Amino acid sequence: MMTEFFRKLRQASIPVTLTEFLTLLEALNQRVTTHSIEEFYYLARATLVKDERHYDRFDQVFGSHFQGLETRFGEVVGATVPLEWLRKLAELTLSEDDKALIEALGGWEKLMETFAQRLAEQEGRHQGGNKWVGTAGTSPFGAYGYNPEGIRIGQDTSRHRRAVKVWDRREFRNLDDTVELGTRNIKVALRRLRRFAREGAAQELDLDDTIRSTARNAGYLELKMVPERHNAVKVLLFLDVGGSMDDHVRACEELFSAARGEFKHLEYFYFHNMIYEGLWKDNRRRYTEKIETLTVLRTFGADYKLILVGDATMSPYEITYPGGSVEHFNPEAGDVWLNRLLDIYSRAIWLNPQPQNRWSYVPSIQMVRELMGDRMYPLTLEGLEQGIRTLQRAR
């Protein structure tokens, strides 16, 4: 039952690891909570979820998993943790550090043995006349003295709340923002870019460290340098506006407005559906003030990182045929232009606001993705992070 719960959490993309699962076992073992499923819910949440954006998903999994079973709590959580399952899970989720830690503790068998032993002790010590109903005494959870009869739901909470279980209230719904990108999380992701910008930047004298080192060095001068603190990352941002993109313009603009504050060198241009010979800087004057794409490519050097934002949803003609554009006659096909861009800007990604599960149904998305050499990411925090990681990788 518990292992199933754990699996469901991971399925719901809550990044729970074995370390945290073991912490939960340990907390139960130390009797952090003893009498209500509500407390168990709080404990599990504090142990397994490390980001409020995942609270809502956690609530849903918790609700569906333990549904109708609140009153038989002892039975519900009473199942042994199969060693084999833990091992498989470990391969999937453990970091090298975790693995080393487990080895240091004597390996899996030993760890499980210790658990069982501690449980047995606990069981022996447990007094007070309560008996647990339910399953095996070896169970890591059933053995902690939950009293299935004595569970009071909603104790200590206010009257009108008592009826609804905490996790069913879905109080954290508006904190889950994996679906769309908001200004808040976008900033976090973009900061990673900025941090990257410092690497390899020009060196400057670190006065404090120089003094310190010189003093350490019995007064002989020892110069210390650090990377310049200013933000050296250069970004070209190409935003798709108009047409089928309109739904997503807002998300793009958020990305854009968040980005503006983050970079010293940020140049942005608008395009429509696909890159052709002209771009524009001001969306309201797109017909009058076109800039030649070639000029842009000549102006901004290969050290710029290129971020294209667009839904790549169009007719395939717009990508592969001269004259395929819906707005004007383009002498050269879109893929020619995109390749020209990619030849110069080796570090480039395409962010796509369309939900990723729809990508495979739209031929033009597939085509653009291929042109990008697979460097297309959904416009979610996760996608953005992956994209930025790709941009950071030296090519």
Partner 1 sequence: MSQTRFRGTDRYVATDDLMMAVNAAVTLGRPLLVKGEPGTGKTQLAEEVALALNRPFIQWHIKSTTKAQQGLYEYDAVSRLRDSQLGDARVHDIGNYIIKGKLWEAFTHELQPVLLIDEIDKADIEFPNDLLLELDRMEFHVYETQQLVKARHRPVIIITSNNEKELPDAFLRRCFFHYIRFPDPETMERIVRVHYPDLKKRLLSEALEAFFEIRDVPGLKKRPSTSELLDWIKLLVAEDIPPEALRGDAHKLIPPLHGALLKNEQDVHLFERLLFMSRRKKD
Q: Which stretch binds partner 1 (CB under 8 A): 141-149, 213-221, 285-293, 302-310?
A: 213-221
The binder of partner 1 chosen from 87, 110, 162, 195 (CB under 8 A)? 195
Asked if 27 is part of the footprint of partner 1 (rule: CB under 8 A), the reply reads yes
For partner 1, the closer CB: 83 or 188: 188
The least distance separating partner 1 from the CB of residue 380, rounded to whole angstroms, comes to 14
CB of 42 to partner 1, least distance (A): 4
CB count in 10 Å sphere of residue 313: 22
User: Is residue 211 involved in binding partner 1 (CB under 8 A)?
Assistant: yes
Give the dihedral sign, CA 154/156/157/160: positive
Does the footprint of partner 1 cover residue 75 (CB under 8 A)? no
Stretch that binds partner 1, among 207-215, 242-250, 305-313, 329-337 (CB under 8 A): 207-215
Residue 272 has what DSSP assignment? B
CB of 27 to partner 1, least distance (A): 5
Instruction: Count other Cβ atoms within 10 Å, centred on residue 59.
Output: 23
Tell me the closest approach of the beta carbon of residue 64 to partner 1, in angstroms.
Answer: 20
List beta partners, residue 348: 306
- List beta partners, residue 159: none
Residue closer to partner 1, measured from CB, 2 or 381: 381
Task: Give the interface segment with partner 1, choosing from 51-59, 81-89, 104-112, 329-337 (CB under 8 A).
Answer: 51-59
Report whether 318 contacts 276 (CB < 8 A).
no
Q: At its nearest, how many Å lie between partner 1 and the CB of residue 37? A: 12
The one among 8, 10, 35, 45 contacting partner 1 by CB under 8 A: 45
Nearer to partner 1 among residue 205 and residue 211 (C-beta): 211
How far is residue 76's CA from residue 141's CA, in Å, rounded to a whole number? 9
Residue written as token pair 């004298």 = 205
Site for partner 1 in 86-125 (CB under 8 A): 95, 97
Mode of pairing for the β-strands spanning 290-292 and 225-227: unpaired
Strands 305-309 vs 348-352: parallel, antiparallel or unpaired: parallel
- Which residues in 360-379 contact partner 1 (CB under 8 A)? none
Q: Determine which residue in the list 104, 219, 288, 395 makes contact with partner 1, applying CB under 8 A.
A: 219
Binder to partner 1 among 205, 215, 223, 294 (CB under 8 A)? Answer: 215
CA distance 128 to 50: 36
Quote the least distance from Cβ 63 to partner 1, whole Å: 16
Q: Retrieve residue 113's tokens.
A: 């043995």
100 CB-near residues (< 8 Å, 6+ apart): none
* Between 50 and 298, CB nearer to partner 1: 50
Residue 310 CB-density burial (10 A; 0-12 exposed, 13-18 middle, 19+ buried): buried
Q: What are the tokens at 294?
A: 């070639």
Cβ closer to partner 1: 119 or 245?
119
What is the full DSSP assignment across 149-211?
A: TT--TTTTS-GGGTTS-GGGS-TTGGG--SSS--HHHHHHHHHHHHHHHHTTPPEEE-HHHHH
At what angle are helices 2-11 and 83-93 packed, to 10 degrees? 20
Q: Shortest distance, CB of residue 82 to partner 1, whole angstroms?
A: 23
Q: By CB under 8 A, name the one of 5, 6, 55, 66 that touches partner 1.
A: 55
Give least dist CB 320 to partner 1, A: 40
Taking CB under 8 A as the binding criterion, the range among 1-9, 75-83, 165-173, 347-355 that sits at the site for partner 1 is 165-173
Strand, coil or helix: what is 270?
strand
Write down the residue that tokens 């904190």 correspond to. 175
CA 58 – CA 45 distance, rounded (Å): 7
Q: Which of 31, 88 has the CB closer to partner 1?
A: 31
Nearest to 235 by CA among 177, 137, 303: 303
The residues binding partner 1 (CB under 8 A) are: 15, 17, 19-20, 23, 26-27, 30-33, 38-39, 42-43, 45-47, 49-52, 55, 95, 97, 156-158, 166, 171-172, 175, 184, 188, 191-192, 195, 211-216, 219
